[in-house]
Structure 1
Amino acid sequence: MPSTLSNPLRLGLRQERVISPQCLVIFGASGDLTHRKLIPALFELYLQRRIPSEFGIVGCARRPWTDNEFREKMKVKLSNKISGKETEWEQFSNYLFYEPVDLQQSDHVVRLSKRLNEIDKKQATHGNRTFYLSVSPNFYASGCKALKEAGLLDDPKKSRLVIEKPFGRDYSSAKKLNKIVQSCAEENQIYRIDHYLGKETVQNILVLRFANTIFEPIWNRNYISSVQITSSETVGVEDRAGYYESSGALRDMLQNHMTQMLAVTAMEPPGKFEPEAIRNEKAKVLQASKLADENEPWNCCIRGQYGEGGNISNQLKGYRQEDGVNSNSTTETYIATKVFVDNWRWQGVPFYLRTGKRLPKRLGEIVLTFKDVPVHLFESTIINPAPNQLILRIQPNEGATFKFEVKSPGSGMKSRPVEMEFSYDESFGEPSDEGYVRLLADAMLSDPTLFTRSDEVEAAWKLYTPLIELMDNSPWKLPIYNYESMTWGPPESDQLLSKDNIFWRRP
C-alpha cells in the first residue's frame, strides 16, 4: 500500500476537524448497535486522532454493569478490530464509563445527571454532551421527555440529541413524534441519523454533480431516461424478527435509506454548501415526489417475501420458518416501487427503488441510464446496444462505473460497450470510513448536513402513505409474492420496468 507521501491523492485526507471536548452518552449500550457500530466507530475516530483527551463515553442501559464490566464486554465484542491495536484500545477504554439507567424512571435520569457532572470534572468536558438514543423507537418520545425534565437538553449550544431510525411508523406518527421531540429540544439540537448518508459515494454525488461541468448539464430529463436505486442484502432477518415483523422492508429501508438516496440524487444545486441550504433542497425533492400511480398505487409497488433456497451444503430457511416469525406472516422482505419527481428537472423520468433480504449480493447502488442516441450509425456486436449508464456504488466497494460504447478492434466500424471504473480503495490507497464514523463525528461537531430534518422525515412518510394505507386496510391489493432465497426478488417486480421497456440492472 502506498504511503501518504508517495500517493498525492491521499495528501490531507486526515486533516479533518477534531471533535471538541464533550461526553457522548449512549442509551441502549447493551444492545447490538452499540458494539457492532457505535463503539467501533468511536475507536476508529480515536485511531484517527480526532477524539480529544477531554472526552468521555457513557454507556447507559438497565443492566447493572460497572465501568470495568462495560469496558471488558466491549473489548470482547470488538476483539477482531482490536487485534494488533491492544495498546491503543487500553488507552481508548479509559474513556468508557457506564451508568445503569432506565429512561422510564425519573430518579435514574437524575442520578445520571449527577454522574455526568462528575465525569465532566474528571474529563474536563465542560458540560458539552451528545445524547444518542439507541433504544426501541417506542421509547424515543419518553426518552426525550425524561432528558428534558432532568434539564439535560436545556442548553442548545452544549447539548445534542441523536435519534436512530425508524422515526415514526407513518406520516401521522412521525408528525406527532416531531412535535414531542421539538418540545424537548430545538431543531438545531436534533440529529435524526441515517447511516446511508454517511457513506462516501452518497456524499460524493454532490461533488460529482456540482464540481464537474460535464455532469450537471446532463443531469436532467433531457438526457436521463430512468434512475434505479437498489439496496440488497444476502442475509435474512437474523435475530431481528421481533422488530422486522412490525416494520417490513418499506418501514425498515424504503422510507428512509432509499428515499434519502433519491433526494441526494435528484436535488437542485444549493445556493451555498451549507447544512440548511442542502437540507432545503432535499426537502423540496421529497415534497415534489409522488408514486407513479396515485389513483391506483398498487400498480406501482411490488412486495415479496423470501422463501427457502440455497443448496445442499447451505440450505436457507424461508422467512416464515425463521425463529420469532409468524408462520402466516404477510410482512414484506422485498419491496420495489416506481416514483416520479414532479418538478422541472425530472418531469417524466421514472425512479425505481428496490430493496430486499436474501438476494444474491450485498449491494447498494444508484444507476442513471441515459437516453439512447437518436440514430445508430455503427454496427454493434450486440443486437441492441446498451445505453450509457453511470453506476454509483454505495456498498460494498464504494466507487463509480461509467458504461459507454467504443469501436471494436479490427477494420470494421463496430461498437461494443466498455466500462470506466473509479474505486475509492484504489484511488486513495485506503478504504473509506464506515458510515457511522462520519455521522458520529458530525453530530458531535454540531454539523447537521447529513442528518434528516423534520420536514424531510414527514415528506418521506407522506410519499408512501398510500402504500401504507393499502397494507393496513386492503392488503389483498398489495399481495406478497414469494421468491426463492438468493434470487433477485419476485419475478413480478420486473413488470414495474417492462412497461417502460427496460429491465433491472443485474450486477
Structure 2
Amino acid sequence: MATTPAFDIIFFGGTGDLALRKLIPALFYAHQSGTLNKDGRIYALGRKAVNNEAYLALLEERVKPRLGDGVDESTWQGFTDRIHFLKLDADRAEDYTHLAGILGCDSNRVTVHYLATAPHLFTGICGHLAKAGLNHPGTRLVLEKPLGHDLASSTAINQAVGQWFTESQIYRIDHYLGKESVQNLLAIRFGNTLFEPLWRREWIDNVQITIAEELGVEERGEFYDRTGALRDMLQSHLLQLLCMVAMEPPASMSEDAVRDEKLKVLKSLKPFSTEDVLTKTVRGQYRNGAIRGQAVTGYLDEPHVASDSNTETFVALQAEISNWRWAGVPFFLRTGKRMQERVAEIVINFRHVPHALFPAPVDQQAGNKLVIRLQPTESVRLHFMTKKPGDTMSLQSTYLNLDFQTMFKTPRADAYERLLLDVIRGRLALFMRGDEQAQAWSWVEPILACWDRHSIAPKTYTAGSWGPAASSGLLSRAGATWQEET
C-alpha cells in the first residue's frame, strides 16, 4: 500500500480514553506497516501541564501493552519519535497561537485536527483554530460522536462548525463503517451476480442488525445517563449499517455517490407514529445479573447514575423502508449493554421455498440466510439447507464460512486505522455527511418524544441475558426470531 502524504495529526483530548485505547494504537499499526509517510507528525494535546517525556511514559504504560507481545522496540521507538505532547486549554486563544507557531504555515501539508473531546467544545475549538490561521486548504477536521443530543443541538453544532470549515473538510466519524466486514458487504452486494438479483423484497423475509455489548457503562455513567442507547448507538451505528444494507447501487464509489444513496435510505424510512412507538419499540435497562459467571451490578447501582433513572441501556425496534426495493420487509434493530455476549452482526433472512418438498427440519426457522459478523471476529456465513447424511431425505441447515482471519493472510487494518488513513488521504466516502446526520436525528426524535410524552419506562432485563422478553415478542409478531447463535 502506498504511503500517505506528509501530515500533521493533532489529537484534542490526547490524554483521553479514546486516544489511548484506539487512536494512538491505530497510528502505531499504520506506522508498523510502513503506511505512514516518514514526514508525519503526531501531536497530543491536553490540559495537564506534563512534559513530553511524561506523556511518552504514559504511552509506554497504557498503549504499548495493548499492542501485543510482538512489538519490536526499534519500531516502537521510531513511532514515539513522531509524537509530541503540548499543553493546550481549549478556551485560551493564546494556546492556539502557540500551536500555530509550532505547526508552521505550510498550506501544502495535510493537517488533521481530531476533536476527541466533549461536543460542547467543538464550536470554540473550531473558532480558535480558524482565528489562529490553522485552517488552510489541506486542513481536515474529524468530529467524534455523539454530535449533539437531538436534531436542534446537532444542527447548531454543524452550523457553528460550518462557519469555519467547509463540508468537504469535515469528517464525522463512525468507526463501524471502517470495519472490513462492513465494506465487504458492499463487495458482496455489488460485486456478485449471485446476490444482487435476490437483494429485494421478493426474496428477503427480514433483516436483523444487532450490536450487543457485555460491558456496562463502566466509568461513563454520567455521560450515559444523559444519553441512552437510542442516542448513543441506534441513531449512529445501527442506522449507518442499515443504510449499507439497503442502499441502491451507487453510480461509482466516489464519496458523494455513496453518501447520496445512504441519504435516500434515511429519507425512505417510514416515520414512527405514536402507535408505532408503542408497538414497535422496546426500551430496556439492565438489573443485577452475571456475565461469564461473574456477578455484575444493575444500571441503577452504577457510579454517577441517578437512582431513579429511566435511561435505556437496551433498545430494539422494527423499522420499515418505504421504497420499491424494500416495501413490506421488516428491519429489526437491536443494541444493548450487559448482554449475554459481545457481538455485532447483520443477518439477511431469505424467504422459505414456496413448496415444502422435503420433510420439515427440526428447526422451523432454518433456511437461507447470510450472516455478516462484525465483532468479536469478522466473518461472512451463508446458511443453506442440505440433505442429512443417511438413507432419508431429511434436511439440515449448514453453512459456508468465510473467516477473514484464516482466509486472508495479509494483515488487515482495524477500523480506526483505516479511517485515520482515509482522513489523511482525503477520502470522505466512509464518513457521514451533515444532511445524513440531520435525517437520522429527524427519524429518531419522534421515538424519544413519545417515550417522554407517555412516560414509557424501560423494561428491566437481567444482566447476561439477551434483553427484555418484549424484544423477542417484537419479532414473534412478524413470525421471526432473533439470530443468537455463536
Q: What interval of TM-score do these two structures reach, taking the shorter chain for normalisation? A: over 0.9
What CA distance in whole angstroms lies between the structure 2 residues aligned with 1:387 and 1:312? 30
Q: Helix, strand or coil for the counterpart of 1:406?
A: strand
Q: CA RMSD in A?
A: 1.7
Q: Within the alignment, does 1:339 sit opposite 2:319 as a pair? A: yes
Partner of 1:217: 197
Q: Check the 8 A contact 1:293/1:300 in 2, yes or no.
A: no
1:432 CA drift (Å): 3.4
What CA distance in whole angstroms lies between the structure 1 residues aligned with 2:382 and 2:426? 36
Q: Within the alignment, does 1:92 sit opposite 2:89 as a pair? A: no
1:296 CA drift (Å): 3.9
Matches within 5 A, 1:49-198: 49-80=34-65, 81=67, 83=69, 84-117=71-104, 127-153=109-135, 155-156=136-137, 158-198=138-178
1:470 CA drift (Å): 2.3
1:411 CA drift (Å): 2.4
CA 1:293/1:300 → structure 2, altered by over 3 Å: closer, same or farther? farther
TM-score under structure 2 normalisation?
Answer: 0.96
Partner of 2:480: 502
Q: Within the alignment, does 1:488 sit opposite 2:470 as a pair? A: no
Q: Check the 8 A contact 1:424/1:431 in 2, yes or no.
A: no
1:242 CA drift (Å): 1.5
1:23-62 alpha-carbon deviations (Å, 9 max, x no partner): 0000001100111000000000000101111111011111
The unaligned stretches of length 5 or more in structure 1 are 1-15
Residue identity matched to 1:106: A
Q: Check the 8 A contact 2:247/2:262 in 1, yes or no.
A: yes
Residue identity matched to 2:4: I
Q: Helix, strand or coil for the counterpart of 1:37?
A: helix
What CA distance in whole angstroms lies between the structure 1 residues aligned with 2:334 and 2:365? 25
Residue identity matched to 2:79: F
Partner of 2:403: 423
1:405-430 alpha-carbon deviations (Å, 9 max, x no partner): 11112222211111111110010026
1:144-178 alpha-carbon deviations (Å, 9 max, x no partner): 1221222211x23x100000001111112222221
What CA distance in whole angstroms lies between the structure 2 residues aligned with 1:311 and 1:340? 33
Moved more, 261-270 or 72-81: 72-81
CA 1:85/1:312 → structure 2, altered by over 3 Å: closer, same or farther? closer
Q: Within the alignment, does 1:323 sit opposite 2:303 as a pair? A: yes
1:214 CA drift (Å): 0.5
1:352-378 alpha-carbon deviations (Å, 9 max, x no partner): 100000001110000011111111001
1:166-191 alpha-carbon deviations (Å, 9 max, x no partner): 11111122222211111110110000
Q: Helix, strand or coil for the counterpart of 1:366?
A: strand
Number of aligned residue pairs: 483
CA 1:127/1:332 → structure 2, altered by over 3 Å: closer, same or farther? same
1:71 CA drift (Å): 1.6
Moved more, 300-309 or 380-389: 380-389
What CA distance in whole angstroms lies between the structure 1 residues aligned with 2:291 and 2:109? 56
1:268 CA drift (Å): 0.3
The unaligned stretches of length 5 or more in structure 2 are none
Q: Check the 8 A contact 2:370/2:380 in 1, yes or no.
A: yes
What CA distance in whole angstroms lies between the structure 1 residues aligned with 2:160 and 2:207? 36
Partner of 1:20: 5
1:387 CA drift (Å): 2.4
1:438-461 alpha-carbon deviations (Å, 9 max, x no partner): 000001110001000001101111
Q: 1:474 aligns with which of 448, 453, 467?
A: 453
What CA distance in whole angstroms lies between the structure 1 residues aligned with 2:293 and 2:356? 48
What CA distance in whole angstroms lies between the structure 2 residues aligned with 1:203 and 1:191? 18
CA 1:132/1:484 → structure 2, altered by over 3 Å: closer, same or farther? same
Residue identity matched to 1:302: V
TM-score under structure 1 normalisation?
Answer: 0.92
Partner of 1:235: 215
Matches within 5 A, 1:185-334: 185-291=165-271, 293=273, 295-310=275-290, 314-334=294-314
Moved more, 304-313 or 406-415: 304-313
Residue identity matched to 2:55: F
Q: Check the 8 A contact 2:291/2:340 in 1, yes or no.
A: no
What CA distance in whole angstroms lies between the structure 2 residues aligned with 1:180 and 1:495? 43
Q: Helix, strand or coil for the counterpart of 2:264?
A: helix
1:395 CA drift (Å): 0.8
Partner of 2:438: 458
Name the % identity. Answer: 37
CA 1:312/1:113 → structure 2, altered by over 3 Å: closer, same or farther? closer
CA 1:249/1:400 → structure 2, altered by over 3 Å: closer, same or farther? same
1:79 CA drift (Å): 2.7
1:292 CA drift (Å): 5.7
Q: Check the 8 A contact 2:288/2:298 in 1, yes or no.
A: yes
Residue identity matched to 1:224: I
Q: Check the 8 A contact 2:274/2:450 in 1, yes or no.
A: no
